[in-house]
Chains A and B, each alone.
Chain A
Amino acid sequence: MKKLLAPLLFLALALAQEGPVLSGELTYAVGLRYSDLRISQNQAGFSLKLKAETETAALVAELEGGPAGLGLGEAYARLYLGPVDLTAGRIVVSTGRTDLFSPLDAFNPKNLARPLAEPEDQKLPLEGLSLVYYPEDTDAELELLYAPVFVPSTPPAGDWAQPFSLPPGVVKVETARPDPKLENGVFGLRASTSLALLDGLDLGATLLYTYTPFPGLKALLDANNPSQPCLDPNAGPCVAVLGYDRLALLGGDLALAFQVPGVEGGFVARAEAAYGRTADTGGTDPFVQDSYLEGVLELEHTFPDGPTVLLLYQTRYAAASGFTAHHLALTARHEASEDLTLEGAWVHNLTDGSGALLPRLRYQLAGGVSAALRLAVFYGGANTEFGAWRELGELGAELRYAF
């Protein structure tokens, strides 16, 4: 670590002479739950970002503060070495192409404590390395990723938490994370290129060797003799050991721009398909999460002088358990004027009939200050994906100052 610190310090000093750029934002958000008129959110936050860059290197450090306290956001050093960009530190990367649902964009863990946050704001930085190789005179790029320590995603918290039941005999729950060893790290490999087909075609292939983002039951042990399995989970006393399964995520993605004769405005079709393979491909081991297939189809259309609309279809299928989920989503974004932006998203679970409606209005006030009003409405049965949040529908407001 000391060996790494000296060159980083040298790099920081060199970059500091180039005149670092300080940017940041202050936010304040408040939410009112309309079912019981309770204040559901009342929090202030800030982020400060310092960036210094030269022709050959860049240094970025982000400090974030919020209800959970003060912490480092993205913080990394990047070297531009000929055709290679080498980045080390707390990084956030994008390995997918579709919006809203992106099965391949799974290198960084996500903070889903408040599931309604913007997808890009949910990504948590991961300590690791990124090496991107850009072959000369091509549109191709090859990216290698490595994070030595796996960090799980943060599940929905408080009222947003999904009900989770364990056998009645369980008196204690332990969660085991993979040991911080080289071979237990998270690996990624992504290749992408562009081709001259129609109005342009982008292709990508991704392999992530990671873990399931949320833990599953790994063992039930006798609470009095932890080396032995729990013989009767209903009688107990038992210890439930939760853990994360190795997941090899292999998939491809594309974006194709095209036009439809007689229709004004252009179209972009995007797609992602992924196979998530765990150790239990046959679905016979109750202590290993099942392998699955996931796909997303997306169509984007921009109306002349009108909104940009996205229509998405997502499906996930686990053959072993027969689990199937289908979602349909429609989003629209319209810049009504230079200071007013209207946005909306509708997500519908085709399997259980539940869904969410999320309209938002953002107004740009003077001098980097913007205000937003948003509404969240959930519908569906009590035990459905979005219906479970029926009582959590809220009207929210946000004030943001960016500099």
Chain B
Amino acid sequence: MRRLWVWVLLLAAPALALTGDEVLKRVEARPTPKTFHGKMAMELISKQGKKLTRELELWSKKEGDAEKMLIKFLAPPDVRGTAFLFLKKGDREEMKLYLPALKKVRRIAGGQKKGSFMGSDFSYDDIARLGSLKAEDFTSTLKEVEEQDGVKVYVVEAVPKPGVEHSYDKEVIWVRGDVFVPIRIEFYQKGKLYKVMTLEKIEGFAGGKYQIPTRLVMENVRTKHKTVLVQKDLELDRPIPDSVFTERFMKR
């Protein structure tokens, strides 16, 4: 009997030994496509249940420490043609918005990243990161290990390190232990729960190499307003020319 316990402890040891930082590093290290192109349906749901749907097309690309993302609004008509460009190289981030009615590309200030992205519960920064984070920017603590549907789920509290610019002062992240993909993130501001993102559907692509959340729900717990983001027609690792991530392409 004692021998059995030793075996159980030995088998469980690697999982139990994971620290919060290691969990986030595994999340960060999981395979992600170099390029991503797809369509999104963004459903805005008010506290009263009133719905408004927006359709977007998204292109993104990662090369070393450089990230590029372009989003174009396809519907409804009042926002059709609006385009959002996010460029990141190292610690430098740049965001621009093209408003077709003005025929102007407008720069968005860094601090505006916390603002609502086109009326949704996602901020510009949330959209730019879509659940991803850089483990080294956070002091992470493993709070709990849960089990959901037979799968181990790590609950990690991540607090931005001093000097790291971040939209929230704390995130609590539920990470599935089999694929190391976040399934729920709680965002805190000024010590209080502000928003909750649930990654409701995660699909495997490229033979299961990539685990991509295809249905995300962001709820503002203060206003009870929700935004549902559904990703479809995904194309991964297909070459996307750099010319896509330019003001010229935003205007087309």
Contact = CB atoms under 8 A, between A and B. Distances in A.
Interface in A320-340: 335, 337-339
A339 B248 contact: no
A191 interface: no
Interface string B81-109: 00000000000111000000111101111
A189 to B, nearest CB: 18
Given A94-B103, A196-B92, A364 B115 contact: no
Contacts of B101: 118, 120
Contact of B103 (A92, A200, A302): A92
B97 to A, nearest CB: 11
B111 A141 contact: no
B46 interface: yes
A141 B243 CA distance: 13
B214 interface: no
B44 A368 contact: no
A258 B5 CA distance: 59
B192 interface: no
Interface string B108-131: 111111111001100000000000
B139 interface: no
A53 B44 CA distance: 30
A277 interface: no
A159 interface: no
Contacts of A94: 102-104
B80 interface: yes
A58 interface: yes
B116 A141 contact: no
A265 B115 contact: yes
B172 to A, nearest CB: 21
Counting contact residues on chain A (CB < 8 A from B), the size range is: 35 or more
Interface string B48-82: 00101000000000000000000000001110100
In the complex, which of the residues B52, B77, B120, B246 has the most CB atoms of chain A within 10 Å of its own CB atom?
B77
Counting contact residues on chain B (CB < 8 A from A), the size range is: 20 to 34
Contacts of B111: 259, 263-267, 302
Interface in A249-305: 255, 257-259, 263-268, 300, 302, 304-305
Contacts of A58: 252
B241 to A, nearest CB: 11
A368 B109 contact: no
A92 B102 CA distance: 10
A304 B246 CA distance: 27
B107 A202 contact: yes
Contacts of B103: 92-94, 120
A368 B115 contact: no
A90 interface: no
Nearest to A99: B102
A337 B115 contact: no
A199 interface: yes
B247 interface: yes
Given A196-B92, A265-B115, A368-B78, A339 B109 contact: no
A200 B94 contact: yes
A264 B119 contact: no
A338 B52 contact: yes
A214 interface: no
Contacts of B115: 265, 302, 304-305, 308
A259 B110 contact: yes
Given A94-B104, A257-B109, A335 B116 contact: yes
A259 B46 contact: no
B198 to A, nearest CB: 20
Contacts of B102: 94, 120
In the complex, which of the residues B104, B120, B246 has the most CB atoms of chain A within 10 Å of its own CB atom?
B104
Contacts of B110: 199, 257-259, 266
Interface string A368-380: 1010000000000
A304 B46 CA distance: 19
Contact of B112 (A25, A265, A339): A265
Contact of B108 (A132, A266, A338): A266
A17 B44 CA distance: 35
A62 interface: no
A235 interface: no
A64 interface: no
Interface string A189-223: 00000101001101000000000000000000000
- Top-7 shortest CB links A-B: A266-B109, A266-B111, A402-B77, A257-B109, A199-B110, A94-B103, A338-B44
Interface of B: 44, 46, 50, 52, 76-78, 80, 92-94, 101-104, 106-116, 119-120, 225, 246-248, 252
Interface of A: 23, 25, 53, 58, 85, 92-94, 97, 118, 120, 132, 134, 139, 141, 194, 196, 199-200, 202, 255, 257-259, 263-268, 300, 302, 304-305, 308, 335, 337-339, 364, 368, 370, 402-403
29 contacts: A23-B77, A23-B80, A94-B102, A94-B103, A97-B104, A118-B101, A120-B101, A139-B246, A141-B247, A199-B107, A199-B110, A257-B110, A258-B109, A265-B115, A267-B109, A268-B107, A304-B114, A305-B116, A335-B119, A337-B46, A338-B225, A339-B46, A364-B52, A364-B78, A368-B77, A368-B78, A370-B78, A402-B77, A403-B77
